[in-house]
Amino acid sequence: MNLTDKVILVTGGTSGIGEACARHFASLGAKVVAASNQQDRGEALEAELRAAGQEVRFVHADVSDEAQVKAMVDFALSTYGRLDGVHCNAGVWGKGTVAEFDEAIWSKIMNVNVKSVFWTAKHAIPALEATGKGVFLITTSVAAFIGFPAHALYCASKGALESLIRCLAADHAGKVRVVGICPGTIDTPMLAETCEGWDKPVEELYAEVAKKIPVRRLGQPEDIAKTAAFLLSDDAEYINATSIVLDGGTMALPPW
Ligand SMILES: NC(=O)c1ccc[n+]([C@@H]2O[C@H](COP(=O)([O-])OP(=O)(O)OC[C@H]3O[C@@H](n4cnc5c(N)ncnc54)[C@H](O)[C@@H]3O)[C@@H](O)[C@H]2O)c1
């Protein structure tokens, strides 16, 4: 499996899962545009990978803003002349029950996790269709299927993405494959953020969680990157309108 000369845009491509994806796609020969709102990390990633001979460019974008999403897609097209794959991966997390939500937290989570994907699809899918076999990949979450306490907004945002995968696949059938990766508990800065405020060190919390995962460890960003690369490759040309769960067995088995 390789991604030689495929042009792939990955959002949230400068941290955690997205960064691992950008690195892995580039190592498999892709021309990668890593987009995020992390200017310093993006510049450092671009400099490091280009110095290693890989074809990677960073573009700053707030993906919740349609004008910036359009500029992000235009940057990829003007830099590399085509788009073979788009990986919508940027996301934010938030905790609370509905009684605690307000317009600001609703807008933040829904705009970054859901609205951004609509705008990216709107502006990128014509270019993907032009290739005849483009791939639109979305990072969802097991949160789409599990009722995590005090996570209604995050879970609903990820549930929306699972629906969007099927609808986009229907609307662009024959021209673009639309697929998802659905991670479980992955060791990233976002996961560390979810541990803030607990009465135990992160390492202890992670060890407890790992014991409950059937493969007995947290997922690493590279676990996700390998499957994302496969889904974006021609080897996955019969996978469409669905997402692949990458959770070490968490959802399928009882937690005891
Ligand atoms: N870590 C997990 O356990 C886990 C599990 C399931 C799903 N996910 C999903 O995986 C994706 C990546 O998460 P991660 O764990 O790597 O987190 P992370 O915090 O390490 O990375 C998130 C990325 O999204 C970017 N981002 C956030 N808001 C943005 C905005 N407005 N515009 C542009 N970029 C923005 C950040 O800059 C960062 O690069 C998210 O969609 C997340 O919901 C993570």
Q: Give per-residue pLDDT as tens, 46-64.
A: 999 999 999 999 999 999 9
Between CA 19 and CA 139 the distance in angstroms is 13
Question: Is-catalytic flag, 206?
Answer: no
Residue-wise pLDDT tens digits, 221-240: 999 999 999 999 999 999 99
Average pLDDT, rounded, for the chain: 97
pLDDT bin (cut points 50, 70, 90) of residue 246 is very high
- List the Cα angle 198/92/200 in 5-degree steps: 10
CA of 88 to the centre of ligand 1 (A): 10
pLDDT bin (cut points 50, 70, 90) of residue 139 is very high
For the chain, the domains span: 7-184+221-245, 188-218
* Class of domain 7-184+221-245 (CATH, top level): alpha beta
pLDDT bin (cut points 50, 70, 90) of residue 85 is very high
Q: Which residues contact 124 (CB under 8 A, 6 or more apart)?
A: 9, 73, 83, 86, 136
Q: Which two tokens stand for residue 237?
A: 């040309």
Q: Rounded to two decimals, what is the model's pTM?
A: 0.98
User: What is the 3-state secondary structure of 89-142?
Assistant: CCCCCCCECHHHCCHHHHHHHHHHHHHHHHHHHHHHHHHHHHHCCEEEEEECCH
Asked if residue 183 has its Cβ within 6 Å of ligand 1, the reply is yes
**What percent of the chain shows pLDDT beyond 70?**
100
CA of 188 to the centre of ligand 1 (A): 9
Between CA 226 and CA 230 the distance in angstroms is 6
Tokens 């390789």 found at: 2
Return the residue whose CA atom lies nearest to atom 8 of ligand 1.
141
- Ligand 1: residue of 188, 212, 245, 246 to mutate (most ligand atoms within 8 A of CB) is 188
Asked if residue 15 has its Cβ within 6 Å of ligand 1, the reply is yes
